[in-house]
Amino acid sequence: MITPASIADVLLIQPKRFGDARGYFAETFNPRMAAAAKLPIFVQDNESLSVETGTVRGLHYQVAPFSQTKLVRCVRGAVLDVAVDLRTQSSTYGQYVAQNLSAESGLMVLVPSGFAHGFCTLQPDTLVCYKVDAVYSAPHERGLAWDDPDLGISWPVPVSGAVLSDKDRANPPLASLPRGV
């Protein structure tokens, strides 16, 4: 099932699970689903393991010509997943969508190109996998301050308790970004 989120073009995708005494089976991606959701062609799969609860990764994005659409899912543990609209002409510029993703629920989020993306782990040893439609390009990589008060994101961890990379700790606030990605 594909459901629009509160900001245009962000989609919540719930794959159907077929369960029995052994567990379940689910198709998390196939051409029919991709066509129904008008998804791009994905060219790279990424995976991140976060050992500690309260690990924040993000908010990340890439600029053209390597901007990325991401299809994100949590395959172990749980996260609060966040997408911030950075599209120049959008009426929702600077607004965000936040969604809990977990291995238990199987819910996925499509984060369109033009959004900064990040997440905070809600459980230890959380594993997040995501597909992207453009390869990683260090010169085109950018970041947005995860704790920018102008964004007003209700993260499940206090600033003092977040586990961050030095790079993410140094990301600029929204007000200092050039308008649009």
Give pLDDT tens digits for 95-146.
999 999 999 999 999 999 999 999 999 999 999 999 999 999 999 999 999 9
In a domain, 135, yes or no: yes
Per DSSP, the three-state class of 166 is helix
Of 61, 130, 136, 140, the active-site residue reads: 130
In a domain, 138, yes or no: yes
In a domain, 84, yes or no: yes
Please, what are the averages of pLDDT over each run of 10 residues along the chain (181 residues)?
90 89 88 83 95 97 96 98 95 96 96 97 98 96 96 95 96 85 57
The question of whether 130 is a catalytic residue gets the answer yes
The question of whether 140 is a catalytic residue gets the answer no
Q: Which domain holds residue 123?
A: 2-176
Domain CATH code at residue 94: 2.60.120.10
Of 60, 61, 96, 117, the active-site residue reads: 60
- State how many domains the chain has: 1
Q: Does pTM top 0.95 for this prediction?
A: no
In a domain, 181, yes or no: no
In a domain, 55, yes or no: yes
Contacts of 93 by beta carbon, 8 Å cutoff, 6+ apart: 85, 86, 87, 179
Strand partners for 81:
99, 119
- Omega prior to 139 cis, within 30 of 0: no
